Amino acid sequence: MVKEINTIKIEHEWLQKILPDGFPYPTSTLISGPGGTGKPLVELAFVVSWLKAGGSAVAIPLQYPDTRFVEITLQKLYNTTLEAYQGKLAYIDFEPYMKGFKEVNTNTIKANLLEPETWGNSIEAAEKSVEKSTIGTLVFGSALNLLLFSPTYKEAILKNIHRIIKNDKSRTYIFSVSTSAFVNEITKWEEAADNLMYTRMEKPMKLLLRIEKMKGVNYTKDEISVPIPKEVMLEIKATAEITRKRIIPILSNI
C-alpha cells in the first residue's frame, strides 16, 4: 500500500525559498556532492524541522565520532538543544567487527551496518526506544558511501540501500553521500531516491545547495547559499576527516 504524501513545515528561511510547500513525507532523500561540501549540515536542518513538527528520529552518524557530536552540532548550527526532545531521538553506532546489533542504553544501539539484515533489525529496535509520532520516524544518516569501502559487503550494501530508498515508505529517510569515491554506484542511489539535492563549495567556504528533484511538492532549482559560519564548517569538516581516515582502512580489510 502506497502512503499519501504529506508535508511538514520547513523551519529555515533559506530552505523555504526553494521548498515553499514544505518537506514531503514519507519519502527518501539523498543529499549528494563531493567530500567536504557540507552535506550533513544541510541534512541536520531537515532533522530540526522534523523534530519541531513532532516527529521522532533515528540517527546513523557514520562520519561522527560519537552520538554527542550530533547534539553539539545541532546546537551550534541551528540553536537546537535536544533536551526539549527527550524520547524523540535514538542513535545507531556503527561497529564493523560485531555480529548483528545490541542495545547499549535506552536510546543507543551498536550495530554492524555492513550486514544488510542488521539494517532493518537495528532500525526497528531503535524505533521502539522513541515515542510514536503522528508523522512517523525519520531515519537520517551521513556518509553512507563509507560502507562501500568493504570489498566483502559492497554489492550487498549497494542493493540494500537501493531497496530502502526506492521502496520503503514505512519511514522517512534522509541520507548524505559523498561522490568523491564510487560515483557510478552512488548515481544508482540518486536515481532511486524520491528527493535529490546537490551541494558544492565555493571559496572561501561558501556552501551552496540545489534541489534536483522533490516528490509531490513545488520547488525551485535555484542554487542557494546556506548560511553556516565558516568556523563551524571547518570544525565539523576536520572531525569528519579524522573519522574517515580512521574507518576507511578498517573497512577496506573487511
Residue 51 · residue 212 · CB < 8 Å? no
Cis-peptide, bond into residue 204, ω within 30° of zero: yes
Specify the fold of 6-19+26-251: Rossmann fold (3.40.50)
Please write down the long-range contacts of 97-104, taking CB distance under 8 Å and 24 or more positions apart.
101/125, 103/129
User: pLDDT tens for residues 158-169?
Assistant: 999 999 999 999
Task: Quote the pLDDT of residue 1.
Answer: 37
Burial 208-232 (b: 16+ CB within 10 A, else e): bbbbeebbebebeeeeeebebeeee
The C-alpha cell that represents 142 in the structure block: 551521513
From the number of C-beta atoms within 10 Å of its C-beta (0-12, 13-18, 19+), residue 180 rates as middle
pLDDT confidence of 137, banded at 50, 70, 90?
A: very high
What is the residue extent of each domain of the chain?
Answer: 6-19+26-251
pLDDT confidence of 185, banded at 50, 70, 90?
A: very high
Cβ neighbours, 10 Å, residue 238? 10
User: pLDDT tens for residues 72-115?
Assistant: 777 777 777 777 788 888 999 999 999 999 998 888 999 999 99
User: CA-to-CA distance for 133 and 54, rounded, in angstroms?
Assistant: 7
